[in-house]
Amino acid sequence: MQTIVHSNPIPPVREVPRKPLITARKSVGLVSTARNVPNVLHNWSGINPIARTSQIRYPKTEQQLSNLVRRCKGKIGIVGSALSFEKIATVPLSDDTSVLVNLKHFTGLQRMTESTAVFGAQTTVDDVIRILGEHDRMMPCSPGVIGIQTLAGSMSTGTHGQGLFQSAYSDIVVSLRVVLPDGEIAVIGGEHSRSDLPLQAFVTSLGMLGVITEVEIRTEPRRVFACKKVTCDFDDFIEDYTKWNQQVEYVKVWWFPETDQVHVWFTDPACPKSSAYLDFLSSSRDHPIESAVCSAALNDTVSIYCNAMSHDTKSSHSPSSTSVAPQFKTVRRFADARDLIGYSEQILCKGIPVPQINCEIAVPLENFTSATLALREWSMRNKGRLHYPFIYRATGRSEAWLSPAFQGPVVYIGLLVYIASDGTVRDDGFETMREVQKILAQFGGLPHWGKHFVPELYDFERSYTMWTRFEQIRQKTDPENKFLNPFLGTVFGRRRSASASAHL
């Protein structure tokens, strides 16, 4: 193990000592589930239904898909890894004319140039990273946390990593092949760009403009990164967060409100002259190199959160246990923290999918301080209601019309409550999600489309400057609303249809 060296100086941060234990009261309630319904596809956590298995279609060619879309008389949903907020993909289970499209036959690298690569829509992010790596290339953006997401799905829901010098998966897209709602196979963007079908509308469209079959993305030479892990106090976080993001390529922060400790990952290109960098290049490169020195600053805080989860999710977290539930692994990795050197995905794309209620709200970066102080006030009044720290990931401006970052840099603030294996959750779990969203909405917050959100808390039409234009394109492209499921119909269409139609 080595001392990790960055190519750029890391901003100074004062390390803080371990914090004393704080206890919190817990309670558990039942989540409404469809676990016992036979012949039903559920979301990835096995909790909520998406479609009946008899409604799922697996086209093998674009022409088969085109015929399916053109002839369908009901609603059409699209499913990838089923990781997104299930309500955006669900089709009416009682409607035999509605279908859910699975693109499992549309995967892998299709073609490649010196600076671009084309993948089948259902290729996972993990596979995109692996294939590009075999060509010594990488995506020119920060990877997200979960690699089993499909490329088209992650792009369509606005999935992102962190860093002000980039934005999201949608912003590395060059062109798309799409089966439109009338069955037409169209190329969106690239050399064949059409003014009536702008790429910026399609890249983050939640599957409402048709079925994506291919995604062309930009690529860049693969780089090696160094990750410095630091634990600091809340005041340093409030004072320096924006500056950190202006100086470091990728900054990720976890704020633990139970103890007010803040854990920061500073990830920048590694210094090519460092011994750790050279050792990594001479290794198999299948895992990152860890530093010899570790920090125990968060160990007591980790114990607090694991104790709370043990009660709420009815699982043991004893280090001596032979079977440790994955939710504990997500928190335990903050203990005995070590710096890393490796490829970006080896550092940043290491999420552990665990059944949970997950919410993420993007707040304009200039509102970071006021929004976070409001969350701190709420947290002080509501001890023990979260199973995981607040997660902070800032991104730069996005070109996608339906991105919260379309008008400028934002900071995504994430929170979650884990679900027990028997389908139970804290009885205030959903109320917690609502309360936090209500707070952040007051600071211009907008939800991540692929995660839990409460539509009535937001004025989408006013917040998104291209909302009306997107609605015009959606209604013209899909006049029968085939791709607008009941939930999305409460967000798009309906109450806005009259004003949007007036501009067509």
Please give the Cα distance from 343 to 70 (Å, whole number): 43
What pLDDT sits at residue 310? Answer: 66
Does residue 426 surpass a pLDDT of 60?
yes
Residues 76, 483 contacting (CB under 8 angstroms): yes
Does residue 150 surpass a pLDDT of 60?
yes
What pLDDT sits at residue 356? Answer: 82
Please give the Cα distance from 216 to 245 (Å, whole number): 29
- DSSP annotation of 189 reads E
What pLDDT sits at residue 422? Answer: 74
- Which positions ≥6 away from 438 have C-beta within 8 Å? 457
Q: What is the mean pLDDT of residues 497-504?
A: 39
Give the count of beta carbons closer than 10 Å to the beta carbon of residue 376.
16
Q: Whose CA is closest to 326, among 24, 45, 42?
A: 45
Does residue 311 surpass a pLDDT of 70?
no
Does residue 450 surpass a pLDDT of 70?
yes
Does residue 447 surpass a pLDDT of 80?
yes
Q: How confident is the model at residue 349 (pLDDT cuts 50, 70, 90)?
A: very high
Does residue 448 surpass a pLDDT of 80?
yes
Please give the Cα distance from 81 to 125 (Å, whole number): 11
Handedness of CA 455, 50, 412, 214 (dihedral sign): negative
| Choice between 375 and 333, residue whose per-residue pLDDT is larger | 375
Give the count of beta carbons closer than 10 Å to the beta carbon of residue 5.
17
Does residue 50 surpass a pLDDT of 70?
yes
Residues 61, 120 contacting (CB under 8 angstroms): no
| CATH C-level class of 37-102 | alpha beta
Q: What is the mean pLDDT of residues 111-139?
A: 99
Please give the Cα distance from 212 to 274 (Å, whole number): 43
Does residue 504 surpass a pLDDT of 50?
no
Residues 293, 226 contacting (CB under 8 angstroms): no
Q: How confident is the model at residue 95 (pLDDT cuts 50, 70, 90)?
A: very high
Does residue 289 surpass a pLDDT of 60?
yes
Report the greatest alpha carbon distance in the chain: 66
Does residue 318 surpass a pLDDT of 90?
no
Opening angle at CA 390, ends 388 and 394, nearest 5: 140
- Which positions ≥6 away from 275 have C-beta within 8 Å? 2, 3
% of residues, the chain, pLDDT over 70: 87
Cα distances from 250 to residues 22, 81, 165, 254, 352, in angstroms, run 31, 26, 8, 14, 20
Residue type, 150: T
What pLDDT sits at residue 5? Answer: 60
Q: How confident is the model at residue 397 (pLDDT cuts 50, 70, 90)?
A: very high
Least confident of 384-388, 459-463, 484-488: 384-388
Least confident of 115-119, 333-337, 444-448: 333-337
The domain spans of the chain are 37-102
The DSSP string of 480-502 is: T-TT--HHHHHHSSGGGHHHHHT
Please give the Cα distance from 476 to 122 (Å, whole number): 26
> To the nearest whole number, what is the mean pLDDT of the chain?
90
- Output the CA torsion 185→116→348→168 (10° steps): -50
Residues 188, 161 contacting (CB under 8 angstroms): no
Least confident of 232-246, 247-261, 328-342: 328-342
Does residue 326 surpass a pLDDT of 90?
no
Does residue 309 surpass a pLDDT of 90?
no
Q: What is the mean pLDDT of residues 53-78?
A: 98
What pLDDT sits at residue 499? Answer: 40
Q: How confident is the model at residue 46 (pLDDT cuts 50, 70, 90)?
A: confident
- Which positions ≥6 away from 421 have C-beta within 8 Å? 313, 314, 315, 325, 355
Residues 64, 194 contacting (CB under 8 angstroms): no
% of residues, the chain, pLDDT over 90: 74
The β-bridge partners of 289 are 341
* 3-state SS assignment for residue 55: helix
Q: What is the mean pLDDT of residues 377-401?
A: 95
| Choice between 133 and 310, residue whose per-residue pLDDT is larger | 133
* 3-state SS assignment for residue 346: helix
pLDDT in tens, 20-43: 444 444 444 444 444 556 799 988
Cα distances from 78 to residues 50, 55, 102, 207, in angstroms, run 10, 11, 6, 7
